[in-house]
Amino acid sequence: MNSAVRRMSFVLPVDTRMSDIKNKLTSCMHCEELHIHVLQRTYFDSFDWRIYCAGGVIEEESGNDGFTLRWREFVSNEIYGNTSINNTVRFAWDLPDCALRERLEPILEMRALLPLLRMNCKVHGLIVLNKDKKTVARLGIEENRILGSTKFKPRKLPAILYVESVKGYDTVFKEVLQVINQQLALKVDDQGMVQRAMAAVELQPGAYSSNLNLKLSAETPIAVVIRNILLRLFEIMKANEWGIRADLDSEFLHEFRVAVRRSRSALGQIRGVLPHSIWDQFSRKFAWLGEITGPTRDLDVYLLNFGAYKNSLPLPVRDDLDPLYYFLGKHRKIEHKKIITYLESARYRKMIAASLAYLKAPLSARSIFPNANRPVLDVANQRIWRMVRRVIREGETINASSPPEDLHELRKSCKKLRYLMEFFQSLYPSDGIKPLIKSLKLLQNQLGEYQDLHVQLAALATFSNQMKSESGATDRTFVAIDIILQTLEQRQSQVRKMFKARFATFAENKNRIAFSKLFKPKIQKEAHAHEDHCLLQH
Amino acid sequence: MKIIACYNIKGGVGKTATAVNLAYLASHEGARTLVMDLDPQGAASFYFRVKPKIKGGLKTLMDGKQSLDELIKGTDYANLDLIPADFSFRNMDLFLEKAKNQRGNYENCSRILMSTMTLHFWIVRPVFH
């Protein structure tokens, strides 16, 4: 026997009068009305639907008892981690230490909670009593009304009747369900109130994703595919623009920049497809976008790392680092203002409009460019295979005395390979390509950490000098920064030592064979079978 | 884990009332709370209008064969549950003395409950040796 609380919901027909339902219920069982609460509920998720992907939604409820925040499961409608709040919670770290925060932090990470919709709810609470007047089951009728916003008009939803068991009284729960079934003949709510509300205002959960999700067919000419790739990347950039402007969280800018980098990589890797003048224009545009968004992103990274910097210091000197936080925040504000100016500039708007116009224009039937009509699978195989060989070659030449620049070059090659594999992912069996992407990702993480530490060491030293001339930071702050620099140096040397093992895992024979099987162009396979020993070392 | 004891050797001073009210306040604040009424007088069970009776009595509670979760009764309040008392609990001290290893079972059961409950209130009878 499982004594967990069980809940079952029913949809009431639109024209039902609440008093009729209550009268029917009270006439069939020993039932009392407990309360009528008028509440306002707001539902939240991150821009990229992280909570929805984890099976729930965040619900904020405000009524006579103040504000509470909780996790509501989409399918079962169960709630978890009811937490009283006094302040607006935008990030997981705004919550006090509690079960909800524990669940939310790894899912939400640095993303902000954004309101999806608001509802006015009238909740009629009823209880079923036994002969001792003890509560043995709970009933509730919820009348929900979606409040209007800039995105949608207000509308009324069908009322919901729910029954909740009380632990240890399962028989009563079954009896109540039987009464509802026989006396009211209601339809079981198999959708859930939140999903129904979202559907009513045409809100599509999971609508945004930073994944390319391109479904390619092997024979499509590469000229068509590259246009689709760039269009999709422009779509991602556009989708993130408003979040950058409103400064909701740092991921909007990050995803914008990733889309720019991917676009640059696509142009660099797939040549001979676009007219040179267009190719050149696109390259310059993307370079400009990378340039104008770089300083804010760098400062975002230091601000996101600030907690870790502080925690790496001995307890008595942690607060000495705070002036660095204010310094970073101040400069970020200045840089962010610059981005807004750029995004609102005529140059930016014209650039986007011209790019989209070009990419959406119909392709001429016969292209004069050498590679334009090649089937995408041929190009994908050739480009990915070439990049795999480059990554292996570059990685193998790195030894203990190699300069950091060599690791940086390898990191860039890995990124190019990753983007290529992601662009053309749908052309290959997912059980073949996904493990290879995962393996590459692990190598990238290690190279990324090394490079980030390298950049952070240089940047923190620069910030320290800037702070000396700009602000009235005390010597204690500079001592704290020096301690962090030492910690970062130690970590960098540890990461450097780990490179050999990490690269060996990526370049192991199993992966080399898998790469070769998946991407090595067929012609090359036959003509240069003897070259295999270069890559496959047994 | 924090343990708060409402303690007095005198009867009728409000130990049970304090524990029951603290449990209610905790549940009202959102903590999933369990009151274990281990006092054979069953005063805490009466507070919640639950019959102080457990099928199989003390043996069922202590032998670990049946999950403690199955003995739980919900109260009139959300988040506040109860394991009711039973008259057989009057022999708990003798039972524990006779079979010391049973205590291990008891601790195991409470560990299972810990994973689902945030707060426990144990109402026990003082035993003097």
Tokens 């050797």 map to which residue? B9
Residue A530, pLDDT score = 46
Mean local confidence (pLDDT), A307-311 = 92
Strands B33-37 and B80-83: parallel
Mean local confidence (pLDDT), B34-59 = 90
**Residue B120 near residue B113 (C-beta atoms within 8 A):** yes
**A-chain residues near B70 (CB < 8 A):** 1, 3
Residue from A59, A166, A172 whose CB has the most chain B CBs within 10 Å, to mutate: A166
A3·B75 Cβ contact <8 A: no
**B-chain residues near A166 (CB < 8 A):** 73-75
Q: Which of A196-210, A456-470, B94-108 has the lowest mean pLDDT?
A: B94-108
Q: What are the φ/ψ torsions at residue A356 (nearest 5 degrees)?
A: -65, -40
Tell me, letter by letter, the H, E, C secondary structure of A437-504.
HHHHHHHHHHHHHHHHHHHHHHHHHHHHHHHHHHCCCCHHHHHHHHHHHHHHHHHHHHHHHHHHHHHH
A169·B29 Cβ contact <8 A: no
**B-chain residues near A68 (CB < 8 A):** 30
Q: In this predicted model, what pLDDT tens digit does every residue of A288-299 receive, in sequence order? A: 999 999 999 999
pLDDT top residue among A522 and A241: A241
Residue A190, pLDDT score = 85
The candidate with the shortest Cα–Cα distance to A233, out of A210, A252, A250, is A210
Which are the contacts of B86, defined by CB distance < 8 A and separation ≥ 6?
Answer: B40, B42, B52, B53, B54, B57, B58, B61
Q: C-alpha distances in angstroms, A210 versus A435, B80, B126?
A: 20, 43, 63
Count Cβ atoms below 10 Å from residue A536 Cβ, excluding itself: 12
**Binning pLDDT at 50, 70 and 90, where does residue A526 land?**
low
Residue A165, pLDDT score = 94
Tokens 């952070």 map to which residue? A456
Alpha-carbon gap, residue A207 to A46, rounded angstroms? 12
For residue A471, give both structure tokens.
């602000």
Q: Is the pLDDT of residue A532 over 80?
A: no
Q: Which of A195-199, A360-364, A438-442 has the lowest mean pLDDT?
A: A360-364
For residue A520, give both structure tokens.
């090595």
Residue A175, pLDDT score = 94
Contacts of range A229-235, beta carbons closer than 8 Å, 24 or more positions apart: A229/A263, A229/A266, A229/A423, A230/A263, A230/A266, A230/A282, A230/A355, A230/A359, A231/A356, A231/A359, A231/A360, A233/A259, A233/A260, A233/A262, A233/A263, A233/A266, A234/A259, A234/A263, A234/A352, A234/A355, A234/A356, A234/A359
Where does residue A522 rank: exposed (0-12), middle (13-18), buried (19+ CB within 10 A)? exposed
> By CA distance, what is A66's nearest residue in B?
B29
Smallest Cβ distance to A84: which of B29, B70, B76? B29
Residue from B36, B49, B114 whose CB has the most chain A CBs within 10 Å, to mutate: B49
**A137 close to B (CB below 8 A):** no
Å between B88 CA and nearest CA of chain A = 20
**B26 close to A (CB below 8 A):** no
How far, rounded to the nearest angstrom, does the alpha carbon of residue B10 sit from its chain's CA centroid?
Answer: 20
Tokens 């309101």 map to which residue? A115
Please tell me whether residue B117 adopts helix, strand or coil conformation: coil
Q: Which of A214-218, A230-234, A515-519, B26-30 has the lowest mean pLDDT?
A: B26-30
DSSP letter string, A114-140:
EEEEEEEEEEEEEEEE-TT--EEEEEE
The candidate with the shortest Cα–Cα distance to A452, out of A499, A408, A416, is A408
> By CA distance, what is B54's nearest residue in A?
A168
A134·B70 Cβ contact <8 A: no
A3·B72 Cβ contact <8 A: yes
CB pairs < 8 Å spanning A and B:
38
Q: Which positions 159-188 of A are in contact with B (Cβ < 8 Å)?
A: 165-169
For residue A505, give both structure tokens.
């895992």
Residue B58, pLDDT score = 85
> By CA distance, what is B47's nearest residue in A?
A134
Alpha-carbon gap, residue B35 to A68, rounded angstroms? 24
Q: Which of A401-405, A515-519, A525-529 has the lowest mean pLDDT?
A: A525-529
> By CA distance, what is A166's nearest residue in B?
B74
Count Cβ atoms below 10 Å from residue A515 Cβ, excluding itself: 26
A82·B30 Cβ contact <8 A: yes
The candidate with the shortest Cα–Cα distance to A228, out of A406, A360, A139, is A360
Mean local confidence (pLDDT), A307-333 = 93
Q: Is the pLDDT of residue A537 over 80?
A: no
What DSSP character marks residue A363?
A: P
How far, rounded to the nearest angstrom, does the alpha carbon of residue A263 sit from its chain's CA centroid?
Answer: 19
Q: What mean pLDDT value characterizes chain B?
A: 80
Mean local confidence (pLDDT), A62-80 = 86
For residue A128, give both structure tokens.
């079923």
Most confident of A63-72, A494-503, B67-76, B110-119: A494-503
B72·A127 Cβ contact <8 A: no
**B112 close to A (CB below 8 A):** no
Residue A373, pLDDT score = 85
Residue B43 CA neighbour count, 13 Å, CB half:
15
**B32 close to A (CB below 8 A):** no
Q: C-alpha distances in angstroms, B71 versus B44, B64, B86?
A: 15, 12, 11
Q: Is the pLDDT of residue A345 over 90?
A: yes
- Give percent of chain A with pLDDT exceeding 70: 95
Q: Is the pLDDT of residue A535 over 50?
A: no
> Which amino acid makes up residue A420?
L
Mean local confidence (pLDDT), B49-54 = 92
B81·A167 Cβ contact <8 A: yes
Alpha-carbon gap, residue A341 to A337, rounded angstroms? 6
Å between A36 CA and nearest CA of chain B = 16
Q: In this predicted model, what pLDDT tens digit does every residue of A149-180 receive, in sequence order? A: 877 788 999 999 999 999 999 999 999 999 99
**B29 close to A (CB below 8 A):** yes
Count Cβ atoms below 10 Å from residue B79 Cβ, excluding itself: 21
**Residue A201 near residue A146 (C-beta atoms within 8 A):** yes
Residue from A3, A61, A84, A98 whose CB has the most chain B CBs within 10 Å, to mutate: A3
A169·B74 Cβ contact <8 A: yes
Identify the sign of the CA torsion B41, B44, B50, B53.
Answer: negative
Å between B39 CA and nearest CA of chain A = 20
Q: What mean pLDDT value characterizes chain A?
A: 90
Mean local confidence (pLDDT), A358-365 = 81
Alpha-carbon gap, residue A276 to A278, rounded angstroms? 5
What DSSP character marks residue A375?
A: B
**B-chain residues near A165 (CB < 8 A):** 74
Q: Which of A99-108, A306-315, B51-60 has the lowest mean pLDDT?
A: B51-60
**Residue A139 near residue A161 (C-beta atoms within 8 A):** yes
Q: C-alpha distances in angstroms, A515 versus A195, A387, A422, A438, A504?
A: 43, 11, 14, 13, 15
Q: In this predicted model, what pLDDT tens digit does every residue of A366-405 receive, in sequence order? A: 566 777 889 999 999 999 999 999 999 999 999 888 998 9
Q: Is the pLDDT of residue A113 over 50?
A: yes
The candidate with the shortest Cα–Cα distance to A239, out of A268, A267, A210, is A210
Angle at A267 between CA A262 and CA A268, to 5 degrees: 95
Å between B93 CA and nearest CA of chain A = 27
The candidate with the shortest Cα–Cα distance to B38, out of B5, B81, B86, is B86
Identify the H or E element spanning A397.
helix A376-397
**Binning pLDDT at 50, 70 and 90, where does residue A275 land?**
confident
For residue A165, give both structure tokens.
């068991």
A167·B74 Cβ contact <8 A: yes
Q: Which of A106-115, A445-454, A486-495, B2-11 has the lowest mean pLDDT?
A: B2-11
A57: β partners: A72
pLDDT top residue among B27 and A289: A289
Alpha-carbon gap, residue B107 to A69, rounded angstroms? 33
Strands A160-165 and A7-11: antiparallel
A1·B30 Cβ contact <8 A: no
**B48 close to A (CB below 8 A):** yes
Smallest Cβ distance to B49: which of A1, A5, A132? A132
Q: In this predicted model, what pLDDT tens digit does every residue of A401-433 receive, in sequence order? A: 899 899 999 999 999 999 999 999 999 999 999
Strands B119-123 and B33-37: parallel
**Residue A74 near residue A228 (C-beta atoms within 8 A):** no
Residue A176, pLDDT score = 94
Alpha-carbon gap, residue A177 to A164, rounded angstroms? 10
Residue B101, pLDDT score = 61
A134·B48 Cβ contact <8 A: yes
Which are the contacts of B42, defined by CB distance < 8 A and separation ≥ 6?
Answer: B52, B84, B85, B86, B87
**Residue B57 near residue B88 (C-beta atoms within 8 A):** yes
